[in-house]
Amino acid sequence: MLANVFRGVNEFGIEDVEKPRAGIGEAVLRVTLTTICGTDLHIVRGEYAVKSGLVVGHEPVGVIEELGPGLDGFSVGDRVLVGAITPCGQCRACLSGHLSQCGHGAGYEALGGWRLGNTLHGAQAQYVKIPFAQANLAKIPDELSDEQVVLLADIASTGFSGAEAAGVRLGDAVVVLAQGPIGLCATVGARLMGAAMIIGVDGDDTRLAMAKKMGADVVIDHRSEDVVGRVRSLTGGGADVAIEALGTQETFENALRCLRPGGTLSSLGVYSGTLQLPYDAFSAGIGDHRIVTTLCPGGKERMRRLMELVRSRRVDLSPLITHSFALKDIREAYALFGERRDGVIKVAIRP
């Protein structure tokens, strides 16, 4: 089968590799749609500890091709969505409700529940093998298209979780720092949960416009405006929740400074170095702040809930898919996405 294989720093592309077979508790999907994640850019640039020869990609939509022994309630031919995280449901972390930190057959030292395109072959391929399939195959309602659900696998689940982990309440003021794909989904999530004021921050005109389209009440251009001062003024003394969605010192620190006493910083960005917690913005007792982090929640029940939100038209993420490519043209897709050309937000990849 054809698959996008990582070979080394900036060395990757379509190869003909062996089609996977399903073992106990596993399923093989024929991939019908997938996408490229910002994390995949880090992988192909060699910034992550991923083995040469790995098939990249962790956001599969597909059709069940083969079911291994020990599965119940699925049929070959079912259309399914699989989250980026594939929890086993049966380890210490999963049984504690930390599905994202799944460490099947191991203690908590394990690598977490992200396996596809990380420790197992991924979804930028014609076929992909799903581990712990009983916990991870979410049937797609007939009335929903592949395009309508593919972004739920990762960015919507992650972005929404930024609002959920913070515990956004009715009437809250929420600021979302950076309006890339994850930040835009955090904006949607805050809106879904009943925030009364949502402030989107970015420095890119396309993304600021998209932020307004996806639910921000106010946008702040960090190139020309004082982010912290503006947020504190708009909110009468600080936001209830600040969601960090880029992974830089600046966005992290601004998020902290935007908060009211007792406010919550929900951190979604992946940082690339040591962060500073400045004394004047963080000192226990001064602010009663909370900092929460969340890795993309997965599992079939999470995917089912997110699909229900799409089915009932609470959410329409389709404006975020700005471009589409065939699997064979995947290097072209990576180039466009990596260089943020042509107003790209997310690309669809069709095997």
Report in angstroms how near the CB of residue 193 gets to a second copy at its nearest.
5
Which stretch, 2-10, 27-35, 167-175, 325-333, contacts a second copy (CB under 8 A)? 167-175
Under the criterion CB under 8 A, does residue 77 sit at the interface with a second copy? no
| String marking each residue 283-322 x if it binds a second copy according to CB under 8 A | xxxxxxxxxxxxxx--xxxx-xxx-xx-xx-x--------
Size of the site for a second copy (CB under 8 A): 95
Decide: is 105 part of the binding site for a second copy (CB under 8 A): yes
Is 72 among the residues that bind a second copy (CB under 8 A)?
A: yes
Which CB, 108 or 205, lies closer to a second copy?
Answer: 108
Q: Does 251 bind a second copy (CB under 8 A)?
A: no
Least distance (Å) between residue 4 CB and a second copy: 22
Task: Pick one of 53, 261, 319, 343: the residue that binds a second copy (CB under 8 A).
Answer: 261
125: its two tokens: 């391929």
CA pair distance 43, 199, nearest whole angstrom: 31
Contact 43, 56 (CB under 8 A): yes
Phi/psi at 322 (5° precision)? -95, -20
H or E segment at 200?
Answer: strand 197-202
Verify binding: residue 104, a second copy, rule CB under 8 A: yes
Is the Cβ of residue 2 or residue 192 nearer to a second copy in the bound state?
192
Secondary structure letter of residue 185 according to DSSP: H
Nearest-approach distance from CB 126 to a second copy, in angstroms: 27
> Is residue 343 within the footprint of a second copy (CB under 8 A)?
no
Instruction: State the nearest-atom distance from the C-beta of 135 to a second copy, in Å.
Output: 4
Return d(Cα 261, Cα 38) in angstroms, integer.
33
Using alpha carbons, list the distances in angstroms from residue 67 to 30, 71, 142, 265, 328: 12, 7, 21, 42, 27
CB of 71 to a second copy, least distance (A): 9
Rounded distance between C-alpha atoms, residue 296 and residue 287, angstroms = 28
For the segment 79-98, give every residue that binds a second copy (CB under 8 A): 87-98
Q: In Å, how far from its chain's centre is CA 25?
A: 25
Lay out the site mask for a second copy across 11-40 (x = CB under 8 A, - = otherwise): -------------xx---------------
Residue 111 CB, shortest distance to a second copy, in Å, is 9
CA angle, residues 248, 250, 253, in degrees to nearest 5: 105
DSSP 167: T
Q: Work out which of 10, 21, 108, 145 binds a second copy, going by CB under 8 A.
A: 108
Token pair listed for 171: 């009437």
Cβ proximity to a second copy: between 77 and 97 the closer is 97
Estimate the crossing angle of helix 181-192 against helix 155-166, to 10 degrees. 50
Which one-letter amino acid corresponds to residue 74? F
CB 239 within 8 A of CB 212: no
